[in-house]
Amino acid sequence: MSNLSFATQYRCTKCNKTYSIKEDILVCPECLDDGILDIEYDYNKIKKIMDNDYFKNNKELSIWRYLPLLPVEETYTKNTLRVGWTPLYNSQTLRDEFNVKALYFKDEGLNPTQSLKDRASVIACVKALEKKQKIISCSSTGNAASSLAGNAAKLGLETVIFVPKRAPIGKLTQLMVFGSTLIKVNGDYKAAYNLSKEAIDHYGWYNRNAAINPNLVEGKKTVALEIAEQLNFKVPDWVVTSVGDGCTIGGVYKGFYDLQQLGLIEHLPKILGVQSEGCSPFYDAFYENRALEETDENTIADSIAVGIPRNPIKGIQAVKKTDGTYVKVSDNEIMDSMKLLGEKEGIFAEPAAAACLAGFIKARRKNIINKDDSIAVIITGNGLKDTKNALKVIGEPILLDANLKDLIQYIERGDKK
Ligand SMILES: *Cc1c(COP(=O)(O)O)cnc(C)c1O
Ligand SMILES: [Zn+2]
């Protein structure tokens, strides 16, 4: 079965022009890098396949469960890492603490390379195979890079990844274990990005740039498809995600939009976008009702420290079209949320993921979210990726001599933490 028959055309989010899905383009040929494309489907055809029985009988527990809604050929999906179908936990403790009707956590840290980025990277790898490309390249310091490296390794694809000089060792280690060719550039992120662009043009490698490549948002949308299915297609009132480039939130919107077009859900959940106080170009543009402007990247949440977001239109529309909103949170609120999520729910989130919980808390306190609402909070990445920052809130472990007397004294002092 060829699924490309369901994806029909690209539509430019800027000038609205459409292009056949068969065209070999990543961005609108007229608007160039501003012309981010959206992929459109023949929902009438998909409707005939994806009915209620389809889901009941589907034993595929990965994003390929939603193959008719993805712009890839089935052939190349057989041998990938198992991406997606992460748990949606039903919270008791924090639901009661914040007094809402229902609170769910979608733990994306359980993807193969421990972040939501796997949903996009596996699609990039499959597209590269379809195009008979052997080498994929990107520049990144974070989850996009390690995720691409891991997913490519499984499929026998090579990766060349450009990182800035200050890239944290934890994320570099992950890359190197996956056998990536790591180019550590003597300079900042912009320098790494520019060199990678020149190298990609020179060598013709496949370009994994989530913001620009429209296939990647289609991968990210599977998180929304899963949330809906895991709740028997009764979607929550709110879905919360943190926002960097704007691809994740764009994907969340697209997933629910697809389901609405298929008649599988009645209404779209409101989408709450969360940004960091030290880097909030979407928040600022949304409230000042203007175009995005470059901002500083001054936050502990490195995965959403994006001063020049590459997907501004999708990031704003996701919120506007669902009657949602944006909130921003401080680094302290992020770190408090990391601790709370760990202690009350047993989930270890990296700062950009803990920001999602912090955003929910802020929206609840401001009564943007009400006590009658149900909420799904996406925990976008695992905390083991950044233990250095976690230790700042938790504190270093205390060393005891191996005798019972010291132990008793320590425990009964009651100040273990
Ligand atoms: C990339 C990322 C985000 C934000 O996604 P964008 O598409 O950049 O908006 C949030 N959390 C984590 C952990 C990420 O890696
Ligand atoms: Zn265009």
Q: Give the pLDDT confidence of 30-89 residue by residue, as tens digits.
A: 999 889 999 999 999 999 999 888 999 999 999 999 999 999 989 999 999 999 999 999
Q: Which residue has the tokens 């233990």?
A: 387
258 neighbors 220 (Cβ within 8 angstroms): no
pLDDT in tens, 225-281: 999 999 999 999 999 999 999 999 999 999 999 999 999 999 999 999 999 999 999
Helix (H) or strand (E) holding 8: strand 7-12
Average the pLDDT over 340-363 and give the result.
Answer: 97
The pLDDT of residue 337 is above 60: yes
Residues 6+ apart with CB under 8 A from 57: none
CB within 5 A of ion ligand 2: which residues? 12, 14-15, 28, 30-31, 35
Q: Given this model, what pLDDT does residue 52 score?
A: 80
pLDDT in tens, 199-215: 988 999 998 876 678 99
Give the separation between CA 171 and CA 149, rounded to whole angstroms: 11
Distance between Cα 19 and ligand 2 center (Å): 10
Q: What is the pTM of this model?
A: 0.95
Q: For ligand 1, say whether the CB of 353 is within 6 Å of any of its atoms.
A: yes
- Smallest-distance ligand from the CA of 334: 1
Atom of ligand 1 at shortest range from CA of 210: 7
Which residue minimizes the CA distance to atom 14 of ligand 1?
303
- Listed by start position, the domains of the chain span 88-114+216-394
DSSP label of 184: E
Q: Given this model, what pLDDT does residue 416 score?
A: 53
What is the DSSP annotation of 126-181? HHHHHTT--EEEEE-SSHHHHHHHHHHHHTT-EEEEEEETT--HHHHHHHHHTT-E
Q: What does R_g of the chain's alpha carbons equal in angstroms?
A: 21
Mean pLDDT score of the chain? 93
Atom of ligand 1 at shortest range from CA of 241: 10
Extract long-range pairs of 130-133: CB within 8 Å, 24+ residues apart: 130/72, 130/73, 130/76, 131/206, 133/157, 133/205, 133/206
Average the pLDDT over 360-371 and give the result.
Answer: 98
Q: Given this model, what pLDDT does residue 297 score?
A: 85
Distance between Cα 116 and ligand 1 center (Å): 8
165 neighbors 187 (Cβ within 8 angstroms): yes
Q: Given this model, what pLDDT does residue 99 score?
A: 98
Q: For ligand 1, say whether the CB of 245 is within 6 Å of any of its atoms.
A: yes
Q: Which two tokens stand for residue 96?
A: 């009661």
Q: Given this model, what pLDDT does residue 1 score?
A: 44
Dihedral over alpha carbons 117, 122, 125, 126 (to 10 degrees) = -150
Q: Given this model, what pLDDT does residue 417 score?
A: 47
Query: Domain spanning 88-114+216-394 has what CATH number?
Result: 3.40.50.1100
Determine the distance from the C-alpha atom of residue 222 to the mean position of all C-alpha atoms in its chain, rounded to a whole number.
Answer: 10
Give the separation between CA 218 and CA 220, rounded to whole angstroms: 5
Atom of ligand 1 at shortest range from CA of 350: 13
Q: Residue 223 to residues 67, 118, 252, 335: CA-CA distances in angstroms?
A: 13, 11, 7, 24
Tell me the residue type at 206.
Y
